[in-house]
Structure 1
Amino acid sequence: MGIPHFLVIPYPVLGHVNPLMQLSEALTKHGCKITFLNTEFSHKRANNAGAGLDNLKESGIKFVTLPDGLEPEDDRSDHEKVILSIQSNMPSLLPKLIEDINALDAENSITCIVATMNMGWALEIGHKLGIEGALLWTASATSLAACYCIPRLIDDGIIDSEGVATKKQEFQLSLNMPMMDPADLPWGGLRKVFFPQIVKEMKILELGEWWLCNTTCDLEPGALAISPRFLPIGPLMESDTNKNSFWEEDITCLDWLDQQPPQSVVYVSFGSLAIVEPNQFKELALGLDLLNMPFLWVVRSDNNNKVNSAYPDEFHGSKGKIVNWVPQRKILNHPAIACFISHCGWNSTIEGVCSGIPFLCWPFFSDQFVNRSYICDVWKVGLKLDKDGNGLILKGEIRKKVDQLLGNEDIKARSLKLKELTVNNSVNGDQSSKNLEKFINWAK
């Protein structure tokens, strides 16, 4: 019997690629072999951003690529287009790729395929070839539980067959889970086409024996109890460097942070997908100016064409530093950071929790609303930013909430306590590492 050999296949967005990279590094530490399948476009993009992926061979991770079926100039922020293109192009190419990989080392042929959401087709192909499969769910276990419970939510009349909430009243997925607003379900805020895609995907994903979750029993106990398939293996925090960034990281911000007093800087980042509309961008800029403290604000360059002109004339930003992309875990663990204005994506949520930093929550779509309710109502380590009648978060609201958050010693204390609970969970001998070993032994 050879060593376990995992073929790992992320959907090509950072929020999927990075956790799968962290899992891959954890698996190589257990002596497993990893073949990491990127799309040609995203592999090239990461290498251009200085990721140096091809130097990772020594670590036991080998990269392979397949085309996503789109042209280089196509808009890859149109996820409907990307998903359809991948699903109509990559499946026919995968069997040959698997054959080629196995031909190179027949002793250690692929034993298991691990895919993320939208890439379930790979588990189908593996199934036909007699290769075991698993899902790495990169959002919260609660959002997985919600997707898993879709048939029940329809039967109970909470949503209709198109995923639309039928009434306003809150509900619980299970008794020991927080109340949820139907509007905050993970497909909320996404275009209608995504709901049938989620339903179809969840069916295919049942081919995966395990649904690995980047979470811990302490963070989401109720959600994890919903299905025996849910296996918490988080927080996935292997490497400190981000080998898979799509943008070049600006590391000058670390030197800048070194010059700021402890707990004095407001850090603002909305992840790799969210787009801030021009009017909202202006309010945010003016709100940061109003703060009597330094700020570090990530404004992605791919957005610049959309928001280039949007810095208002009266914005001076003299107390702040605006950057294109940062090594976020290093930033959040820097002693100068006071709080995190976040879109509440799950990776950012986990990184913030593991750094003991209080949150100001500004969700945009998908599971970010559910994550906000955990941050504010369940763990109580943050506050939410409220919109005005026109759906804008105003500059005065930003200033008011930053003051409230930083004046709240209870939230700070709970943030540090939750950090201790979560980080300790990733030290050997805890439940998550036992689960990871259970998974590896199964793959063997």
Structure 2
Amino acid sequence: MDVPPHVVILPFPAVGHIKPMLMLAEHLSLAGLTISFVNNEQSHQLIRRRSPGINFLSIPDGLPPDHPRSGPSIVDLLISTSTACKPIFKHLIASMTHAPTCVIADGIMSFSIDVAVELGIPAIAFRTYSATSTWTYFHLQNLIQEGEIPVVAGTESEELERQVRCIPGLEKILRRRDLPSICRLDPHNQILQFFINQASKMRNASALILNTFDSLEAPFISRLHSIFPTVYAIGPLRSPAQHDSPTPLQIDKSYIQWLDSQPSRSVLYVSFGSVATLSRDELVEFWHGLVNSEIPFLWAIRPDLIDNGSGAVPDDLRSKRGRIVGWAPQEEILAHDAVGGFLTHCGWNSILESVWAGKPMICRPLVAEQQVNGRCVSEVWGLGLDMNRLSDRSVVEKVARDLMEGEKERISRSTARMAHDARDSISEGGASYENLHKLISDIKILHSK
């Protein structure tokens, strides 16, 4: 009996990274491949019963069990995984009775690419960012050389609005304020250097997987071919199984009855993702701006959203017009007919989910590559409005009204068209459908060799 190809998949242990890589694992498993999905021990406990056809394994991430692994502490996790995991992962791979055909490694877990190269196993990088953001990260060193880094907090507005001209293809798109948040750091900062190093090591992979699609990002998918001989754009990834996304929190579905009572496309959904945090003052400004806009809103506030404090909304800021929930199933909310817009931190999964649902966005990027994503949403793809600046209540109020009333018809046409393209892309014969099947075929060819 033939032994099927064996693929080892290693995501960075955060929800936004695990989710798309797990969806890919499910597709590969359905195609008859053997999948070993490797997580840190904390994430392993959350998802190990999710997909029966996948072999879930865990390795320690180098942090104490009680150390936080979200919010600002994500920095500790980045550094710890990059320094502690390589020998453990190498031992795990070398001891497998079913030798891996290839390793699919998260682009910020590139020590696993080093391990694969050392063991003579083909490595494929999976970058969970957009193609445009991935291209930007490959030019961080160039940004330093051209004096664009650091972008100093408090810089005059005119300077922040100046266009960045040293990233090919983005000369007329990105302003200094749109550069990733790590570009506010000193060039020698450990975190900035971490991402430069990760991008450099990714080049040792034989191919690149991206959770995006041609209609959205063809120019930058094409540019990445100058770094990788093969680029598989296979998005927007959808799970072939019906289950909730991995989350450490209890799902709150108390919103359903309330949404059902609202008029079609009247509610603004608000969420800042699974990692980013707000100060208490920022939360208060958002709240007043939303209430003053007089637009019904549903806000998902996880317990650790506020820096150094509880995510609870003060009693004096509650309003009948708005509804607060805890961790909620975002795709289900965006698909609801009552939801007409999405105020988002511009994490890549959130953007793709909004694109799929055909819902326009207000972009308030906070960390990592979200600034680049937000600029593309508003200025390149025409799918929303930009709020990449200090968010006082008057700005929040104005932008909420602009999206849900003034600009609603214009932007809705663009979002409907892109939602149609997204569905076409993953349907039989679509570009992402074909790329996914090419990936599966190429892995089988590797195995036969």
TM-score by length of 1: 0.88
Q: Secondary structure at the match of 1:219?
A: helix
Q: 1:70 aligns with which of 63, 76, 100?
A: 63
For residue 92 of structure 1, report the CA deviation from its aligned partner: 1.4
What is the alpha-carbon distance in structure 2 between the residues aligned to residue 178 and residue 22 of structure 1?
Answer: 35
For residue 427 of structure 1, report the CA deviation from its aligned partner: 0.8
Q: Secondary structure at the match of 1:275?
A: coil
Q: Which range is displaced more, 293-302 or 176-185? A: 176-185
Is structure 2 residue 88 aligned with structure 1 residue 93? yes
Residue equivalent to 2:137: 147
Q: 1:210 aligns with which of 207, 211, 214?
A: 207
| Contact 2:178–2:371 (CA under 8 A) maintained in structure 1 | yes
Q: Secondary structure at the match of 1:2?
A: coil
Deviations 1:227-250 (A, max 9, x none): 322331111112453341122211
What is the alpha-carbon distance in structure 1 between the residues aligned to residue 306 and residue 142 of structure 2?
Answer: 43
Q: 1:124 aligns with which of 109, 114, 117?
A: 114
What is the alpha-carbon distance in structure 2 between the residues aligned to residue 227 and residue 434 of structure 1?
Answer: 18
Change (3 A) 1:360 1:148: same
Q: 1:324 aligns with which of 326, 333, 336?
A: 326
Residue equivalent to 1:416: 416
Change (3 A) 1:310 1:54: closer
Change (3 A) 1:386 1:432: closer
For residue 147 of structure 1, report the CA deviation from its aligned partner: 1.8
For residue 88 of structure 1, report the CA deviation from its aligned partner: 2.8
Deviations 1:280-309 (A, max 9, x none): 111112222223232111111133683438
2:402 is aligned with what amino acid?
Q
For residue 69 of structure 1, report the CA deviation from its aligned partner: 1.6
Change (3 A) 1:250 1:222: same
| Contact 1:340–1:359 (CA under 8 A) maintained in structure 2 | yes
1:67 is aligned with what amino acid?
P
The answer for unaligned runs of 5 or more in structure 2 is: 445-449
| Contact 1:116–1:138 (CA under 8 A) maintained in structure 2 | yes
Residue equivalent to 1:29: 30
Identity %: 30
Q: Secondary structure at the match of 1:330?
A: helix
What is the alpha-carbon distance in structure 2 between the residues aligned to residue 360 and residue 151 of structure 1?
Answer: 30
Q: Secondary structure at the match of 2:55?
A: strand
Is structure 2 residue 258 aligned with structure 1 residue 264? no
Residue equivalent to 1:277: 279
For residue 217 of structure 1, report the CA deviation from its aligned partner: 1.2
2:256 is aligned with what amino acid?
L
For residue 38 of structure 1, report the CA deviation from its aligned partner: 0.9
The answer for unaligned runs of 5 or more in structure 1 is: none
Matches for 1:1-400 after TM superposition, within 5 Å: 2-44=3-45, 46=46, 53-57=48-52, 60-77=53-70, 78-100=73-95, 102-103=96-97, 106=98, 109-153=99-143, 157=146, 159=148, 168-171=162-165, 173-175=167-169, 179-186=173-180, 187-189=182-184, 192-228=189-225, 229=228, 230-238=231-239, 239-303=241-305, 306-308=308-310, 311-312=313-314, 314-385=316-387, 387=389, 391=390, 393-400=391-398
What is the alpha-carbon distance in structure 1 between the residues aligned to residue 233 and residue 373 of structure 2?
Answer: 17
Residue equivalent to 2:400: 402
What is the alpha-carbon distance in structure 1 between the residues aligned to residue 141 and residue 292 of structure 2?
Answer: 48
For residue 441 of structure 1, report the CA deviation from its aligned partner: 1.9
| Contact 1:178–1:378 (CA under 8 A) maintained in structure 2 | no
TM-score by length of 2: 0.88
| Contact 2:277–2:304 (CA under 8 A) maintained in structure 1 | no
1:193 is aligned with what amino acid?
Q
What is the alpha-carbon distance in structure 2 between the residues aligned to residue 82 and residue 158 of structure 1?
Answer: 29
1:92 is aligned with what amino acid?
P
Deviations 1:178-234 (A, max 9, x none): 522244233335673222111211222122111111111111122112132233111
| Contact 1:189–1:366 (CA under 8 A) maintained in structure 2 | no
What is the alpha-carbon distance in structure 2 between the residues aligned to residue 92 and residue 313 of structure 1?
Answer: 50
What is the alpha-carbon distance in structure 1 between the residues aligned to residue 206 and residue 183 of structure 2?
Answer: 28
Q: Which range is displaced more, 405-414 or 393-402? A: 393-402
| Contact 1:284–1:398 (CA under 8 A) maintained in structure 2 | yes
For residue 153 of structure 1, report the CA deviation from its aligned partner: 4.3
What is the alpha-carbon distance in structure 2 between the residues aligned to residue 297 and residue 206 of structure 1?
Answer: 40
Residue equivalent to 2:447: none
Change (3 A) 1:310 1:443: closer
Change (3 A) 1:425 1:190: farther
What is the alpha-carbon distance in structure 2 between the residues aligned to residue 280 and residue 64 of structure 1?
Answer: 39
For residue 22 of structure 1, report the CA deviation from its aligned partner: 1.2
1:184 is aligned with what amino acid?
D
| Contact 1:299–1:325 (CA under 8 A) maintained in structure 2 | yes
What is the alpha-carbon distance in structure 2 between the residues aligned to residue 332 and residue 76 of structure 1?
Answer: 27
What is the alpha-carbon distance in structure 1 between the residues aligned to residue 316 and residue 282 of structure 2?
Answer: 15
| Contact 1:158–1:182 (CA under 8 A) maintained in structure 2 | no
Change (3 A) 1:396 1:40: same
What is the alpha-carbon distance in structure 1 between the residues aligned to residue 57 and residue 185 of structure 2?
Answer: 31
For residue 172 of structure 1, report the CA deviation from its aligned partner: 6.2
For residue 256 of structure 1, report the CA deviation from its aligned partner: 3.0
What is the alpha-carbon distance in structure 1 between the residues aligned to residue 109 and residue 371 of structure 2?
Answer: 24
Q: Secondary structure at the match of 1:93?
A: helix
Change (3 A) 1:219 1:177: farther
